[in-house]
């Protein structure tokens, strides 16, 4: 080893020791942060809630990445996949001076260090996982599996950025992580940055060895090469030896990344090449206590959490802790005031090159609003309600195409092989689907550069989009309604991130996470029961009201208006459910805009009678709106004296009261629409009880009768589906008759006719495989459509 190299390695080691020291201190200490005196029981936290196992390896990555950033002026962020990596990110941010800048009460001195230690996993403090509160983070380390897809999302359209993604060998076993390795086939080396995966093999998860650590190394390397990577291995337990290997590996990986990018950018050579990755094999709990109470801890799963559990009460454990912390040489690392010594401060990157201060990890500061066209440019002409037919998502595609034209580096569309199926293919006039693997002449709209991302993994799509949003850009995820449940738990984590960051002033808001759920429950004509589930809405509304919005536009123009609104919004989760099948237009652009702005409203043209209704027909969702309008038409024909108020709901959150949700209507406004005492027959897109849950505090709640999806379905016709769930027009009319006081007797014949028609419709469908002609050809009274 040359002297110069030797010195570099010792400097790196000093940083690593400092980071380890500050990490251990967070796990254990309430006080005495610099060990100026022997540790006393009262210096130790009453509840030890940290995890040491993953820490030294993560600190190694931070240490060496900092070296690379400094020496080569690299623009890099780091994402910690392993759980409980919080102390690491916090320790390095503090050493870099960023933590104290963001949180001035935590100074870069002894008192600051004391507070830093104390607050970790302490009530009112910071979590054990890397979290929204952690400077430099776009990735919560709590739920495993998403670190690679987040990292890939971050580097899209960020050609200079390198995202280092540390994958724990536990996380390695999860499905979402396993799928996301293939995200490397969607990186465009010309216009995107690079991800450097670091697979940290420390051998153990909570209570078991990990699979990748217990298969032959050549088998693991075969797997990683199969994922499309060149594997650079760093392995050992001698710190200086590992430092040397890591330094070489980081340089080699960076050289390789830059070479792939140079070939693409300077020579136009975009042939896919294996991207580098680092396989880092170091002991779990490395440099921590070796043997405790006669059992091996370092290098085993016993190092996963707190390797010395009795440090408050057990003098022996406390002594081991003190020895352990002193082994890092704090006296060389911190000065008399508790500041990191100059030699450490000098090797930190500076300004925004510090990973904890990199603006890409705080996307709100980089976010540029979309240049959004007004939707009226894409709107369809609607001369009269029901006078024309369009495929809502197909028209939306033309709007999205214009959005993508105007926001070439700031917006992407994500989907699991469903963009065309969901009829958004107008976007291909503007851009292509990006694909880094082989492209054949026969492929359409597939290119090495493109802004539509399709992989048959909802998890990867969601992770990409989250990473893209968290680094300051905008996007839309279109998905079959039933299968968006695949990302339920990812949605949880993102919604929690949004909720938490609302109160962090230093994190400006990011763009909303927008879902277009189409191919929905009512039109799964050829897929049947397995594809019928409208429950994602229920899942979403359990999240904090401030961050979730649900929209059910009933036709093409309302879909356009809704989507424009969602794309312009910030820091929400917006769920838009809309059909792709040909369906009637009800509102022109102006009416649609007004209706969507109100969120819900009375459709006078579909109502009958004076201002005092006998019954309210309410609906939310495109198919329920169709059935409700058909019911209104039937009532008009068969019971012309009945005063029917027709109400359509686009913004589902309007139904809640204003105390429960920011969009909630006041009780007064709600009562004005839904009355305080008239029966309400409500046709809803999803599970009916959600409407009860949203309205149970309303004056008229006891009179609200909801029809929706009752988990009845199969492969059948559209009208048979609504009949199976009693949401059809005939049943809605029967509901009205049953609920309007005094109507039952008078309308017995009408009710019987409805029942007979239902029976006839069922039989017709079984016989012909199609819906009853009068249903297929139904049109709103007086309209010219057909």
**Considering only residues 103-122, where is the footprint of a second copy by CB under 8 A?**
121-122
Is position 500 an interface residue for a second copy (rule: CB under 8 A)? Answer: yes
Query: How far is Cα 636 from Cα 645, in angstroms, rounded to an integer?
Result: 11
CA 175 to chain centre: 16
Q: Where are the beta strands (DSSP E) in 544-668?
A: 548-551, 573-577, 583-584, 600-602, 615-620, 644-649
Is position 525 an interface residue for a second copy (rule: CB under 8 A)? Answer: yes
Number of residues this chain uses to bind a second copy (CB under 8 A): 120
DSSP code, position 184: G
CB-nearer residue toward a second copy: 217 or 406: 217
CB-nearer residue toward a second copy: 398 or 489: 489
Is position 454 an interface residue for a second copy (rule: CB under 8 A)? Answer: yes
Is position 720 an interface residue for a second copy (rule: CB under 8 A)? Answer: yes
Is position 663 an interface residue for a second copy (rule: CB under 8 A)? Answer: no
Contact partners, residue 591, CB within 8 Å, separation at least 6: 382, 557
Tell me which stretch binds a second copy (CB under 8 A): 103-111, 194-202, 535-543, 599-607. 535-543
Tell me which stretch binds a second copy (CB under 8 A): 106-114, 249-257, 585-593, 692-700. 692-700
x/- track of binding to a second copy for residues 309-328 (CB under 8 A): --------------------
CB-nearer residue toward a second copy: 129 or 244: 129
Shortest gap between Cβ of 677 and a second copy (angstroms)?
15
x/- track of binding to a second copy for residues 384-413 (CB under 8 A): ------------------------------
Is position 270 an interface residue for a second copy (rule: CB under 8 A)? Answer: no
**Considering only residues 45-64, where is the footprint of a second copy by CB under 8 A?**
45-47, 49-51
598-to-44, 145, 584, 602 alpha-carbon distances in Å: 57, 40, 21, 10
x/- track of binding to a second copy for residues 457-476 (CB under 8 A): xxxx----------------
Shortest gap between Cβ of 609 and a second copy (angstroms)?
29
| φ/ψ (deg, to 5) at 197 | -75, 135
Is position 696 an interface residue for a second copy (rule: CB under 8 A)? Answer: yes
Of residues 300, 355, 393, 675, which one binds a second copy by CB under 8 A? Answer: 300
Rg (CA), the chain: 30
- Do β-strands 548-551 and 513-518 pair in parallel, antiparallel, or remain unpaired? unpaired
Tell me which stretch binds a second copy (CB under 8 A): 14-22, 224-232, 402-410, 677-685. 224-232
Phi-psi region of 665 (alpha: psi -120 to 50; beta: other; left: phi over 0): beta
Of the candidates 279, 165, 259, the residue with the CA atom closest to the CA atom of residue 217: 279
CB-nearer residue toward a second copy: 327 or 715: 715
Shortest gap between Cβ of 213 and a second copy (angstroms)?
8
Three-state SS letters, 650-665: CEHHHHCECCCCCCCE
Tell me which stretch binds a second copy (CB under 8 A): 153-161, 363-371, 669-677, 768-776. 768-776
Of the candidates 434, 369, 453, 433, the residue with the CA atom closest to the CA atom of residue 406: 369
Of residues 701, 739, 746, 779, which one binds a second copy by CB under 8 A? Answer: 701
Is position 703 an interface residue for a second copy (rule: CB under 8 A)? Answer: no
Q: Sign of the CA dihedral 114, 116, 117, 119?
A: positive
Query: How far is Cα 579 from Cα 516, in angstroms, rounded to an integer?
Result: 10
541-to-143, 544, 573, 662, 690 alpha-carbon distances in Å: 20, 7, 10, 13, 9
Shortest gap between Cβ of 19 and a second copy (angstroms)?
21
Query: How far is Cα 624 from Cα 569, in angstroms, rounded to an integer?
Result: 27
Of residues 296, 350, 666, 777, which one binds a second copy by CB under 8 A? Answer: 296
Q: Sign of the CA dihedral 556, 559, 560, 561?
A: positive
Tell me which stretch binds a second copy (CB under 8 A): 4-12, 313-321, 326-334, 689-697. 689-697
130-to-14, 88, 589 alpha-carbon distances in Å: 23, 8, 46
Of the candidates 172, 145, 158, 8, the residue with the CA atom closest to the CA atom of residue 77: 158
Is position 442 an interface residue for a second copy (rule: CB under 8 A)? Answer: yes
On whether the CB atoms of residues 391 and 588 are closer than 8 A, the answer is: no
**Considering only residues 619-638, where is the footprint of a second copy by CB under 8 A?**
none
CB-nearer residue toward a second copy: 254 or 523: 523
Of residues 270, 406, 509, 529, which one binds a second copy by CB under 8 A? Answer: 529
Is position 538 an interface residue for a second copy (rule: CB under 8 A)? Answer: yes
Is position 717 an interface residue for a second copy (rule: CB under 8 A)? Answer: yes
Tell me which stretch binds a second copy (CB under 8 A): 364-372, 439-447, 569-577, 585-593. 439-447
CA 276 to chain centre: 27
CB-nearer residue toward a second copy: 377 or 528: 528
CB-nearer residue toward a second copy: 10 or 697: 697
Query: How far is Cα 609 from Cα 636, in angstroms, rounded to an integer?
Result: 10
Phi-psi region of 41 (alpha: psi -120 to 50; beta: other; left: phi over 0): alpha
Strands across the sheet containing 548-551? 446-447, 433-434, 452-454, 411-415, 474-480, 513-518, 573-577, 548-551
CB atoms within 10 A of CB 546: 13
CB-nearer residue toward a second copy: 108 or 532: 532
Shortest gap between Cβ of 338 and a second copy (angstroms)?
22
**Considering only residues 125-184, where is the footprint of a second copy by CB under 8 A?**
125-129, 131, 140, 142-145, 170-171, 173-182
CB-nearer residue toward a second copy: 388 or 725: 725
Is position 699 an interface residue for a second copy (rule: CB under 8 A)? Answer: no
List 233's β-bridge partners, or say none. Answer: 279
Tell me which stretch binds a second copy (CB under 8 A): 193-201, 567-575, 661-669, 761-769. 761-769
CB-nearer residue toward a second copy: 38 or 175: 175
| φ/ψ (deg, to 5) at 629 | -65, -40
On whether the CB atoms of residues 465 and 420 are closer than 8 A, the answer is: no
CA 485 to chain centre: 12
CB-nearer residue toward a second copy: 124 or 351: 124
Is position 207 an interface residue for a second copy (rule: CB under 8 A)? Answer: yes
Shortest gap between Cβ of 48 and a second copy (angstroms)?
9
Shortest gap between Cβ of 482 and a second copy (angstroms)?
7
CB-nearer residue toward a second copy: 177 or 563: 177
Helical residues (DSSP H) of 232-297, grouped into ranges: 239-267
* Cα angle value 183/187/188 (rounded, 5°): 160
Is position 766 an interface residue for a second copy (rule: CB under 8 A)? Answer: yes
Is position 123 an interface residue for a second copy (rule: CB under 8 A)? Answer: yes
The enclosing H or E element of 558 equals helix 556-568
Is position 222 an interface residue for a second copy (rule: CB under 8 A)? Answer: yes
């Amino acid at each position: 080893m040359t002297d110069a190299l030797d010195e570099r390695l010792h400097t790196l080691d000093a940083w690593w020791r400092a980071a380890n020291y500050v990490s251990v201190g967070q796990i254990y200490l309430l006080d005495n942060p610099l060990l100026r005196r022997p540790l006393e029981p009262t210096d130790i936290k009453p509840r030890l809630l940290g995890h040491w196992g993953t820490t030294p390896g993560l600190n190694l990555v931070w240490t060496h990445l900092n070296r690379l950033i400094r020496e080569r002026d690299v623009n890099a962020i780091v994402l910690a996949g392993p759980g409980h990596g919080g102390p690491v990110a916090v320790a390095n941010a503090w050493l870099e001076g960023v933590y104290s800048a963001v949180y001035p009460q935590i100074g870069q001195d002894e008192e600051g260090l004391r507070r830093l230690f104390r607050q970790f996993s302490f009530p009112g403090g910071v979590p054990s996982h890397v979290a929204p509160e952690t400077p430099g983070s776009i990735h919560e380390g709590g739920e495993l599996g998403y670190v690679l897809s987040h990292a890939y999302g971050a580097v899209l359209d960020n050609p200079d950025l390198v995202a280092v993604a540390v994958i724990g060998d536990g996380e390695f076993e999860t499905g979402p992580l396993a799928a996301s390795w293939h995200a490397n086939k969607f990186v465009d080396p010309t216009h995107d940055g690079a991800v450097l995966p670091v697979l940290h093999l420390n051998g153990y998860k909570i209570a078991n060895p990990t699979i990748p650590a217990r298969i032959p190394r050549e088998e693991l390397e075969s797997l990683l090469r199969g994922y499309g990577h060149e594997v650079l291995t760093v392995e050992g337990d001698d710190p200086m030896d590992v430092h040397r290997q890591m330094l070489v590996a980081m340089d080699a990986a960076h050289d390789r990344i830059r070479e792939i990018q140079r070939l693409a950018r300077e020579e136009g050579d975009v042939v896919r090449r294996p991207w580098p990755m680092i396989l880092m094999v170091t002991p779990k709990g490395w440099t921590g206590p070796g043997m405790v109470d006669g059992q091996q801890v370092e290098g085993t799963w016993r190092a996963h959490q707190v390797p010395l559990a009795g440090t408050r009460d057990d003098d022996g454990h406390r002594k081991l802790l003190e020895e352990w912390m002193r082994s890092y040489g704090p006296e060389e690392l911190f000065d008399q005031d508790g500041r990191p010594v100059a030699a450490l401060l000098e090797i930190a990157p500076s300004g925004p090159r510090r990973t904890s201060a990199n603006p890409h990890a705080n996307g709100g500061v980089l976010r540029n609003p979309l240049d959004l066209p007004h939707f009226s440019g894409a709107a369809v002409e609607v001369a009269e309600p029901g006078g024309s037919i369009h495929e809502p998502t197909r028209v939306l595609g033309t709007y999205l195409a214009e959005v993508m034209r105007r926001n070439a580096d700031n917006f992407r569309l994500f989907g699991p092989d469903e963009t065309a199926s969901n009829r958004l293919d107008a976007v291909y006039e503007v851009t292509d689907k990006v694909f880094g693997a082989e492209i054949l002449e026969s492929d359409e709209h597939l290119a090495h550069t493109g802004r539509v991302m399709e992989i048959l993994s909802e998890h990867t799509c969601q992770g990409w989009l989250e990473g893209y949003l968290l680094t300051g850009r905008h996007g839309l995820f279109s998905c079959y309604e039933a299968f968006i449940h695949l990302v339920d738990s990812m949605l949880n984590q993102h919604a929690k991130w949004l909720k938490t960051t609302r109160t962090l002033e230093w994190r400006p808001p990011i763009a909303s996470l927008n879902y277009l759920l189409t191919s929905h429950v009512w039109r799964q004509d050829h897929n049947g029961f397995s594809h019928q589930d409208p429950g994602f809405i229920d899942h979403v509304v359990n999240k904090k009201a401030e961050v979730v919005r649900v929209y059910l536009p009933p036709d093409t123009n309302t879909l356009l208006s809704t989507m424009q609104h969602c794309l312009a919004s910030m820091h929400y989760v917006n769920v838009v459910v809309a059909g792709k099948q040909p369906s009637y237009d009800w509102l022109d652009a102006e009416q649609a805009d007004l209706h969507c702005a109100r969120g819900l409203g009375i459709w006078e043209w579909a109502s009958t009678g004076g201002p005092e209704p006998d019954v309210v027909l309410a609906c939310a969702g495109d198919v329920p709106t169709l059935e409700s309008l058909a019911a209104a038409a039937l009532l008009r024909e068969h019971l012309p004296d009945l005063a029917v108020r027709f109400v359509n709901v686009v913004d589902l959150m309007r139904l809640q009261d204003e105390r429960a949700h920011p969009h909630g209507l006041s009780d007064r406004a709600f009562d004005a629409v839904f009355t305080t005492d008239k029966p309400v027959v409500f046709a809803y897109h999803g599970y009916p009880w959600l409407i009860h849950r949203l309205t149970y505090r309303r004056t008229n709640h006891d009179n609200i009768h909801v029809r929706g999806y009752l988990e009845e379905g199969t492969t059948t016709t559209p009208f048979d589906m609504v009949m199976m769930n009693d949401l059809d027009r005939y049943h809605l009319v029967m509901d009205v008759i049953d609920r309007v006081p005094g109507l039952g007797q008078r309308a017995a014949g009408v009710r019987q006719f409805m029942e007979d028609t239902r029976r006839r419709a069922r039989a017709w469908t079984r016989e012909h495989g199609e819906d009853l002609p009068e249903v297929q050809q139904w049109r709103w009274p007086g309209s010219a459509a057909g």
